[in-house]
Amino acid sequence: MTNVHEAITKHSNAQHNIVKTFVTLEQKRELFIDEAVALAKQNKEFTVDKINQVTIEMNKLAQKGIVPLRKRVTVDMVKEYAFRK
């Protein structure tokens, strides 16, 4: 019985760590998106490289089936969002 309990605990902890990492990456991604949007609004040059690097890391976690996939971001997407309001 103990082995089953330990296996469940180990599995649960692994899933929790995936979710925790995902949330941290999501916050980082949102920060990078906000920075890009701010630059776009000022008509300054920006890239989406940092956003998409984090997105790649998030999508690797999503392959485990616990957290959702995130779309890669394009410069046009940022500009569209920046000037939508």
All structural domains of the chain with their residue ranges: 2-82
Q: Is 41 helix (H, G, I), strand (E, B) or coil?
A: helix
Quick: pLDDT tens for 8-57: 888 889 899 999 999 999 999 999 999 999 999 999 999 999 999 999 99
Closest CA to 39 of 2, 69, 1, 81: 81
For residue 1, the model assigns a pLDDT of 56
Q: Taking a C-beta distance cutoff of 8 angstroms, is the pair 45, 75 a contact?
A: no
